[in-house]
Amino acid sequence: MNCLKLKRFSHHLQVSFTRLNNICRSWYKLYAPSSLKHRRNTDQIKLSDSSILAMLIWQAELGIESQRRFCRFFVGLSHSRFNRRARQLLLLIYLIRHTLNQEVDLSGKILIIDSFPVPVCQPVRNYRVKIFHDIADIGYKATKKSLLLWVQGSRNSER
């Protein structure tokens, strides 16, 4: 389950678990092979594969690497059964990640990762500066407890 430890493109989820479960259900319908969908005794399972997929994504979002510790959050969920079914879904997780990575265009030379304020001049000169009048804003920086004239910059990574 090392795929859950990958933090190269780590983003925080901005959806509820119900919405995440619906997304995983549609991914399961699209990408799951028929051998996984039509295996024996699927009518007797209490937790669907798409729900386990959503729980694995939620586990990665929370940063919990131990599935035994993650299973303690849920009442009546056996960690051995959850671990076994998660390992069965590992091929599907790789397939979904591969397909989504192909859909996202990462071939560009410049990729904007994050933006941050760049202080332009000393706080004394904030209101007298004329060069950056159109592109710079005056903002409050809480860590320094002062007003700064700053330009919105971005950290670019070359591929």
pLDDT tens per residue across span 66-124? 888 888 888 888 888 888 888 888 888 888 888 877 777 666 655 554 555 556 666 66
CA gap 9, 17 in Å, rounded: 20
Query: What is the pLDDT, as a whole number, of residue 1?
Result: 47
Query: What is the pLDDT, as a whole number, of residue 159?
Result: 41
Query: What is the pLDDT, as a whole number, of residue 32?
Result: 86
Please determine, for residue 27, whether its predicted confidence score (pLDDT) is greater than 50: yes
Q: Do 68 and 93 reside in the same domain of the chain? A: yes
Q: Do 99 and 117 reside in the same domain of the chain? A: no
Query: What is the pLDDT, as a whole number, of residue 156?
Result: 46
Q: How many domains does the chain have?
A: 2
Q: pTM here?
A: 0.56
What is the domain extent for residue 122?
Answer: 110-158
Query: What is the pLDDT, as a whole number, of residue 82?
Result: 85
Q: Do 19 and 96 reside in the same domain of the chain? A: yes
Picking from 69, 84, 103, the residue at the C-terminal end of a domain is 103
CA gap 19, 13 in Å, rounded: 11
Q: Do 99 and 116 reside in the same domain of the chain? A: no
- 153, burial (CB in 10 Å: exposed 0-12, middle 13-18, buried 19+): exposed
Pairing between strand 110-119 and 137-141? unpaired
Q: Do 77 and 114 reside in the same domain of the chain? A: no
Query: What is the pLDDT, as a whole number, of residue 120?
Result: 61
- For residue 112, the cross-strand partners are 156
Q: Do 67 and 85 reside in the same domain of the chain? A: yes
Residue partners of 88: CB distance under 8 A and separation at least 6:
36, 49
